[in-house]
Structure 1
Amino acid sequence: MLRGEIAVGEWVWRAVLRHYRDLVEGPARGLHFDPAAGLHVVQFIERWFRHVKGSQAGEPILLDPWQRFWTVVLYGWKLGPGGPRRFQRGLEGVPRKNGKSTWKAPQGAYLWMMDGEAGAEVYALGTTREQAMTVYAPAAANVRRWLRQSPRLQRCIKLMEGKNQEAMWLDHVALFRPLPANDDALDGLNPHAILFDELHAQKTRGLWDVMESALGARRQPLLSAITTAGWILDGICTELLDYLKRVLKGEIEDDSFFGYWYAADEGDDPYTLATWRKANPGLGTIKTLHHMQTQARKAQALPSARANFLTKDLNIFVGQEGGWFDMRVWDQCAAPVLPEHLAGRRCYGGLDLSSTRDLTAFVLVFPPDADDEPWRVLCHFWAPQAKLDEDEGDDRAPYKRWAEAGWLTVTPGDVVDYLPVKRTVQQACVLFDVVEIGYDRWNAQSTTTELMDAGVPMVEVQQTTQGVGGGAKQLELLVYGRRLHHGGNPVLRYCADNTALLMDSNENFRPDKRRSRPNGRIDGISALCTALSRAVAPGAAGPELISLDR
């Protein structure tokens, strides 16, 4: 790398340079590099651990050169010859599918068994139990194999199984277990090492602080996070990343903080092989080029996939700035939709009732009866007269013109009168075969109760990524696949132009009012995603979720 033979990003280059500078300057600060100590960890992993998943399952784990390098650096630096480990905290940033769990799980076992710490407590920490298990489970699977093969080990290692009971004990005193962030036992721990998986999912620094404060009783403790980037731009992960960058630039002197961050640099073309190699050290050995090519194609086609690609494959923190839809693509879906041509057709509804002076939206989506047909959308919008009189400028919306053209129904007063809304919903159930109408219970209880009493098939849909995420994904695929006809409804277009997304740590997304254009209304898109979420729900009588490959 220092000879220019390997291209890396700035924060890997600076981290490597720091190591070599410390070889020269570190002894004056009491630092000593013992490569044999680091190689001992590498040899432990490669001799005793096997892959537990995928095509290599059962084969010995052989670390990539970059993994060997960072392992030796992390465990090789000491506070003087024969002293304790130099690094006590760390942040390691690597894009997904570069073998993080396969690499870190054996390190957890080493810290538990081989680190010379009496009664070591090692925790695989994650925001959720499932996340914590990603580091713990591969280690436990290997220990389980050892126990099958060695009666001697069976006398000193106890492997506990069962949901929420997973743990490994060595000589009844040393513990290795997964630890979700909501565990009741977070207080009172005496950890020797904590391996924090996917720190990007933590919104605040509270959990990190609790873990850091628990390390004080150990001789050479380690609190290390290995993570990809995420969408929380003001959380503990970005805070630590900023700290790491200042350490690597020499602005802060902290010999106890370890880290590197594999990522594309600012200005890099995200769709070139050179950028992919820079950000993904395991590309071609752990992570396949085919995977990157597939993700890049999706990213070029879909806005949500682009954000996901930048974040998870190039390790760049990405906020949801800008709109969800390219309106040029949206406008290509404006083929006419005539209600009389849809009479008796099966459809699904979404109802978004305004709380004060927002728009109220009722949307119907009609799945295709044949593979070559589009999905069709009918919309109804309502607003109170006060909104037309006072909010046109702030909302940047020609409400009066839409009302005159028949796209928007106006009700007297300061808030929407729900009587014409209920009447329209009931009429739709007469004209069409309405399977379900999804609604958000917020501000909807009395209205939806009255509709259900009238025989309307109302279904509550939570406005979360779990509740409407499937509908949001379907909408994006339909629009960018040019398989949606929305009739050019200008109110729906206005909502689409305003909408930005909220993504969660599981790569699900939904429309989010807070991230969307200030004062811009997104009610029509929210109702459309609600309707689509029912249309693609398991067991729905409609087509399955489409893909770009169809």
Structure 2
Amino acid sequence: MIKKELLLASWLEKLQKKWDSEEYYYDVEEATKVFKFVSKLTNDRGASRQFELLEFQFEIITEILCVKRRSDGKRKHREAHINIPRKNGKSFLAAIIVVYLFFCQRHIFGALFILTANTTKQAGELYATVEHFIKTNKTLRRYCKITSSTKTIVRKDNGNKLMVLSSDADNADSFNDYVAVLDEIHQAKNDEMYGKLRTGQGAWDEPLIMTITTASSGEDPANPEMQLYTMAKKIEAGEVNDPSFYYRIYEADKDCNVEDEMQWYKSNPALGVFRKLEDLANYAKRIRLMPLQENMFRRMFLNQHVALDHEKGAINMDLWDTCTKKVDTEDLKGWKCWGGLDLSSKNDITGFVLVFYEETTGRFIVVPYLYTPKETVAYRQHKDNNPYEYWIKKGDLIALDGKYINFDRFLDHATELDETYRIEQIGFDQWGSQTIINRLEDRWEVIPLGQGTKTMTQVINDFENLLVDERIIIAENECFRFMAKNCIAVYDEMLGVKYSKKKSKFKIDGIIAMLMGLLLCIEENGIEHYNPVEYLDAM
């Protein structure tokens, strides 16, 4: 107890020196009250039920709540922007502030507290923390009517109401909110919700709007996270003066080494408490081998504004080569397999890739079959400066008669393969020719698959993880390797990823076909998908 009191005293002294001026003061009495209030709440996760506030948490909470104007004693800050990486307790900070104001703000009644996010699920998670704080405290609970099904909490004595609002900004027009919290605004499509909730606070003397988030890509100046980040940086540089705007941004240096421990601490104030240093170190080493995940790591764990777009090197070719083996297809006779078919539209290369699963070792075996029209090989070899004739001679590329891919000839070959192996399903572009789908369905079960980030993100994560762990065997094929080497990946704002046919210099149809076959193989064998974020969070 004495240790806590000494710690609190040192924090209070430091913050009082920081904020006391002719215009403002740090309310030590209220900050002490906040500290005691938090100590009476119970944790909803982690190893301990009781809170042990970290210094940075105490600073943020009390700098928002306890820095006041000398002129009238009202709070200085009416808006707070907390920009911090994952697993640093940002939702906890917001929940503490909401619960404190819900119960400890005097002289207000009928005040509306709104929690919202990009999805109702995200807002619901924040609500669940708030509800837990109240439900597990007998004193607070007796003042409230809690309706979990509708995610609303109402104070019986003064009519204060807390509610979750869906991400549809059309619903926000009629609210006169006193406190509003917008979670994960980097995912918001626009600033409409933020604008409406901020405007709705005009009737209150001491409103508060909080935005909590990690970094966006930084590419969209209209993104609300980017707008508020830019605002904060302008205030920091002295270009803008807005005393009511509070911000706390934790970010690593722009071009830092992802394995620089100092940068981890700089951007993650709770490192060593909410996340183990060893876990972050292990993951940072792992992403050296998984190039697509470096920018994700920078965004989510170093809080950097990085455009998630790889211009080259989407696939680690050292790992690819390590996993490449001479595969004797005779050994695979009678095995179940899953195929991916990426059919070229004109006169280039069609990829039909079979993926096998070896239960005894937990390894996947990838066998590619690549097809090209015979009559245009010489012309395209000269035009593209690629060794098509050599690949055909070597058996890595199969030449079919005609100027275009002859689907009947392909179908004949696929049927022969099915008589050798047991092709369970074939993944095919969901926007592909219905006529071709019908032809395929005469013999196989065809699974329509998208080729955008929604479908591809999961299987690309799986594929990279299998490469790192050497749990995938790729049959030797120089044309297939050339495709892998030329893959370019693009990301969307939600950290989804796909290999881009448009941006990749060479045709990558075989790689897309492999991913479709791998996805079916993983799911049909009941194998858990790899999620890099969940992987780190679970460590």
TM-score band w.r.t. shorter chain? 0.7 to 0.9
What residue is the counterpart of 1:271 in the other structure? 259
Query: Which of 94, 100, 103 is equivalent to 1:104?
Result: 94
What residue is the counterpart of 1:362 in the other structure? 352
- How has the CA–CA distance of structure 1 residues 189 and 137 changed in structure 2, closer, same or farther, with 3 Å as cutoff? same
Query: Which of 423, 435, 439 is equivalent to 2:412?
Result: 423
Do the aligned partners of 1:363 and 1:531 also contact (CA within 8 Å) in 2? yes
Consecutive unaligned residues in structure 2, runs of 5 or more: 1-13
Amino acid at match of 2:520: R
- How has the CA–CA distance of structure 1 residues 192 and 183 changed in structure 2, closer, same or farther, with 3 Å as cutoff? same
Structure 2 CA distance for aligned equivalents of residues 305 and 159 of structure 1? 42
Amino acid at match of 1:418: F
What residue is the counterpart of 1:523 in the other structure? 509
Structure 1 CA distance for aligned equivalents of residues 199 and 375 of structure 2? 58
**Alignment length (residue pairs):** 514
What residue is the counterpart of 1:133 in the other structure? 124
1:515-534 deviations in whole A, cap 9, x for unaligned? Answer: x7355433322221111111
Do the aligned partners of 2:81 and 2:247 also contact (CA within 8 Å) in 1? yes
Query: Which of 140, 143, 149 is equivalent to 2:134?
Result: 143
Please state how far the C-alpha of 1:481 moved relative to its aligned partner.
Answer: 2.9
Amino acid at match of 2:183: D
Alignment of 1:284-295 (within 5 A): 284-295=272-283
Do the aligned partners of 1:124 and 1:194 also contact (CA within 8 Å) in 2? yes
1:265-299 deviations in whole A, cap 9, x for unaligned? Answer: 13433323322222211122333223323322332
1:32 aligns with 2:24: yes
Amino acid at match of 1:541: N
1:314 aligns with 2:306: no
Query: Which of 513, 525, 532 is equivalent to 1:541?
Result: 525
Q: Which stretch shifts more, 225-234 or 528-537?
A: 225-234
- How has the CA–CA distance of structure 1 residues 287 and 484 changed in structure 2, closer, same or farther, with 3 Å as cutoff? closer
Do the aligned partners of 2:356 and 2:366 also contact (CA within 8 Å) in 1? yes
Alignment of 1:190-205 (within 5 A): 190-205=176-191
Amino acid at match of 1:248: E
Please state how far the C-alpha of 1:52 moved relative to its aligned partner.
Answer: 1.1
Do the aligned partners of 1:298 and 1:305 also contact (CA within 8 Å) in 2? no
Consecutive unaligned residues in structure 1, runs of 5 or more: 1-16
What residue is the counterpart of 2:81 in the other structure? 91
What residue is the counterpart of 1:220 in the other structure? 206
Structure 2 CA distance for aligned equivalents of residues 174 and 145 of structure 1? 19
1:450 aligns with 2:439: yes
Alignment of 1:489-504 (within 5 A): 489-502=477-490
Percent identity (aligned): 24
Q: Which stretch shifts more, 382-391 or 239-248?
A: 382-391
Structure 2 CA distance for aligned equivalents of residues 246 and 387 of structure 1? 58
Structure 1 CA distance for aligned equivalents of residues 134 and 122 of structure 2? 20
Do the aligned partners of 1:41 and 1:110 also contact (CA within 8 Å) in 2? no
Alignment of 1:298-377 (within 5 A): 298-318=286-306, 319-321=308-310, 322-355=312-345, 359-371=349-361, 375-377=365-367
Please state how far the C-alpha of 1:383 moved relative to its aligned partner.
Answer: 6.2
**What is the DSSP-based 3-state SS (H/G/I as helix, E as strand, rest coil) of the residue aligned with 1:459?**
strand
- How has the CA–CA distance of structure 1 residues 415 and 71 changed in structure 2, closer, same or farther, with 3 Å as cutoff? farther
- How has the CA–CA distance of structure 1 residues 43 and 372 changed in structure 2, closer, same or farther, with 3 Å as cutoff? closer
- Give TM-score scaled by structure 1 length: 0.82
Please state how far the C-alpha of 1:347 moved relative to its aligned partner.
Answer: 1.1
**What is the DSSP-based 3-state SS (H/G/I as helix, E as strand, rest coil) of the residue aligned with 2:465?**
helix
Please state how far the C-alpha of 1:39 moved relative to its aligned partner.
Answer: 0.9
Query: Which of 152, 158, 169 is equivalent to 2:154?
Result: 169
Structure 1 CA distance for aligned equivalents of residues 121 and 369 of structure 2? 40
What residue is the counterpart of 1:158 in the other structure? 145
- How has the CA–CA distance of structure 1 residues 40 and 139 changed in structure 2, closer, same or farther, with 3 Å as cutoff? farther
Please state how far the C-alpha of 1:232 moved relative to its aligned partner.
Answer: 6.5
Please state how far the C-alpha of 1:140 moved relative to its aligned partner.
Answer: 0.4
Structure 2 CA distance for aligned equivalents of residues 203 and 275 of structure 1? 30
1:250 aligns with 2:233: no
Please state how far the C-alpha of 1:64 moved relative to its aligned partner.
Answer: 0.7
**What is the DSSP-based 3-state SS (H/G/I as helix, E as strand, rest coil) of the residue aligned with 2:212?**
strand
Structure 2 CA distance for aligned equivalents of residues 21 and 545 of structure 1? 49
Structure 2 CA distance for aligned equivalents of residues 44 and 438 of structure 1? 59
Do the aligned partners of 2:323 and 2:470 also contact (CA within 8 Å) in 1? yes
Structure 2 CA distance for aligned equivalents of residues 46 and 18 of structure 1? 18
**What is the DSSP-based 3-state SS (H/G/I as helix, E as strand, rest coil) of the residue aligned with 1:125?**
strand
What residue is the counterpart of 1:14 in the other structure? none
Query: Which of 95, 119, 123 is equivalent to 2:114?
Result: 123
- How has the CA–CA distance of structure 1 residues 498 and 243 changed in structure 2, closer, same or farther, with 3 Å as cutoff? farther
1:461-515 deviations in whole A, cap 9, x for unaligned? Answer: 33355534442222112223334332342333233223344557876x542427x
**What is the DSSP-based 3-state SS (H/G/I as helix, E as strand, rest coil) of the residue aligned with 2:444?**
coil
1:403-458 deviations in whole A, cap 9, x for unaligned? Answer: 56554456688864433343333332222111221222112322112211x22121
What residue is the counterpart of 2:6 in the other structure? none
Amino acid at match of 2:356: F
Structure 2 CA distance for aligned equivalents of residues 37 and 428 of structure 1? 79
Q: Which stretch shifts more, 194-203 or 489-498?
A: 489-498
1:259 aligns with 2:247: yes
- Give TM-score scaled by structure 2 length: 0.83
Do the aligned partners of 2:368 and 2:480 also contact (CA within 8 Å) in 1? no
Structure 2 CA distance for aligned equivalents of residues 224 and 384 of structure 1? 63
1:45-71 deviations in whole A, cap 9, x for unaligned? Answer: 423321012321x32x23211111122
**What is the DSSP-based 3-state SS (H/G/I as helix, E as strand, rest coil) of the residue aligned with 2:136?**
helix
Structure 2 CA distance for aligned equivalents of residues 80 and 351 of structure 1? 71
Do the aligned partners of 2:369 and 2:398 also contact (CA within 8 Å) in 1? no
Structure 1 CA distance for aligned equivalents of residues 217 and 454 of structure 2? 17
What residue is the counterpart of 1:3 in the other structure? none
**What is the DSSP-based 3-state SS (H/G/I as helix, E as strand, rest coil) of the residue aligned with 2:354?**
strand
Do the aligned partners of 1:299 and 1:307 also contact (CA within 8 Å) in 2? no
Please state how far the C-alpha of 1:132 moved relative to its aligned partner.
Answer: 0.8
- How has the CA–CA distance of structure 1 residues 377 and 37 changed in structure 2, closer, same or farther, with 3 Å as cutoff? farther
Q: Which stretch shifts more, 165-174 or 132-141?
A: 165-174
- How has the CA–CA distance of structure 1 residues 257 and 520 changed in structure 2, closer, same or farther, with 3 Å as cutoff? farther
Q: Which stretch shifts more, 403-412 or 466-475?
A: 403-412
What residue is the counterpart of 1:10 in the other structure? none
Alignment of 1:233-248 (within 5 A): 233-234=219-220, 235-248=223-236
Structure 2 CA distance for aligned equivalents of residues 383 and 125 of structure 1? 55
Amino acid at match of 2:435: S
Structure 2 CA distance for aligned equivalents of residues 182 and 388 of structure 1? 56
- How has the CA–CA distance of structure 1 residues 195 and 414 changed in structure 2, closer, same or farther, with 3 Å as cutoff? farther
Please state how far the C-alpha of 1:546 moved relative to its aligned partner.
Answer: 7.9
1:511 aligns with 2:506: no
Please state how far the C-alpha of 1:168 moved relative to its aligned partner.
Answer: 0.7
What residue is the counterpart of 2:193 in the other structure? 207
Do the aligned partners of 1:348 and 1:532 also contact (CA within 8 Å) in 2? yes
Structure 1 CA distance for aligned equivalents of residues 37 and 347 of structure 2? 62
1:83-125 deviations in whole A, cap 9, x for unaligned? Answer: 5433333321222222222222121122333334432222222
1:333-357 deviations in whole A, cap 9, x for unaligned? Answer: 3322343332222211112234566
Structure 2 CA distance for aligned equivalents of residues 468 and 22 of structure 1? 50
- How has the CA–CA distance of structure 1 residues 364 and 176 changed in structure 2, closer, same or farther, with 3 Å as cutoff? same
What root-mean-square deviation, in Å, do the aligned CA atoms of Structure 1 and Structure 2 show?
3.5
